[in-house]
Amino acid sequence: MTTVRVWFSKTGEASYISLLDLQRVFQRALKRSGLPVWYTQGFNPHIYMTFAAPLALGHESLAECVDFKSEADGYDWSAAAQTLSECLPKGVDVLRIGPAQSDTADIALARYEIRYAEEDADRAACAYAIFAALEAAPVEKKGKRSVRTVDLKAYVDVEGARRTREGFCLSVFLPAGGELTISPSLVTNYLAEHCGLAGALPSVLRTALYTKKKEVFV
């Protein structure tokens, strides 16, 4: 039995597909593709899938992955990406498929680009300067069973903040592992509520997943 990993992007209108609906989308697509996928046993056979570090609704990504099982050991997956892409909706594009090389438990960080439009660029730059000067930025993080207070300053690792032709871009690393996940929405909401960016509508793009050592997760 082989664990097969599908890397895909989710952009445009597809960013509003919920995780539950995305599971249904891939169930149907894998069935239609004819790829050698393993099904669970019993009265209701289905494809067992695992999505790693799922995104919040409305966030785009170039680094999404889903694992499934296959009994076809030694299968040539080189042409499978195009085959599966043709069965998926617009905005969901398969980048590559192959045997998983690492455990999803190794995921610890995600890199995001938080982008503000040109009309909000000056305010965004000022808001980031205010945030950077803070000693602490406490926010409430809601979980399934509890609410906890975390300090964004302790977890937001800023790679860069720059003006672009389109506006202002903030590149950050955020926790994305099983122990702690910080959504980019916590950052954008804090900038809006405490740093003068109320009313701005940023876009969020995840570009990669990383291990604790900041090695690209594959």
CATH number for the domain spanning 189: value is 3.30.70.920
Long-range residue pairs from 15-18, CB within 8 A, at least 24 positions apart, any chain: 15/55, 15/57, 15/58, 15/59, 15/60, 15/61, 15/91, 16/57, 16/58, 17/89, 17/92, 18/57
Is 47 found in the same domain as 120? no
Is 85 found in the same domain as 114? no
80-86 mean pLDDT: 93
Asked if residue 123 is part of any domain, the answer here is: yes
Is 147 found in the same domain as 66? no
DSSP string, 157-170: EEEEEEE-SSEEEE
Q: Is the pLDDT of residue 46 over 90?
A: no
Round to whole Å and give the CA distance between 165 and 118.
8
Cβ-count burial of 127 within 10 angstroms (0-12 exposed, 13-18 middle, 19+ buried)? buried
Asked if residue 205 is part of any domain, the answer here is: yes
Is 126 found in the same domain as 86? no
Q: Is the pLDDT of residue 91 over 80?
A: yes
Is 96 found in the same domain as 116? no
Q: Is the pLDDT of residue 42 over 80?
A: no
| Residue bearing the bigger pLDDT, 130 or 148 | 130
What pLDDT does residue 40 have? 86
Per-residue confidence band for 82, with pLDDT thresholds at 50, 70 and 90: very high
Residue 111 domain boundaries: 106-210
* Phi, psi (degrees; rounded to nearest 5) at 144: -65, -30
Q: Tell me the pLDDT of the chain averaged across its residues.
A: 93
What is the torsional sign of CA 73, 75, 78, 81?
A: negative
Asked if residue 126 is part of any domain, the answer here is: yes
The radius of gyration of the chain's CA atoms, rounded to the nearest angstrom, is 19
| Burial annotation 31-63 (CB, 10 A radius, 16+ → b, else e) | eebebebbeeeeeeeebebebbbbbeeebbbbb
Contact in structure between 61 and 10 (CB atoms under 8 Å): yes
Give the pair of three-digit tokens for residue 9: 């992007």
Lowest mean pLDDT: which of 21-30, 37-46, 116-125, 183-192?
37-46
Contacts of 172 (CB under 8 A, 6+ apart): 111, 112, 114, 156, 157, 158, 159, 184, 187
Cβ-count burial of 195 within 10 angstroms (0-12 exposed, 13-18 middle, 19+ buried)? buried
Nearest residue to 23 via CA among 92, 99, 76: 92
What pLDDT does residue 16 have? 96
pTM reported for the whole predicted model: 0.92
Q: Is the pLDDT of residue 45 over 90?
A: no
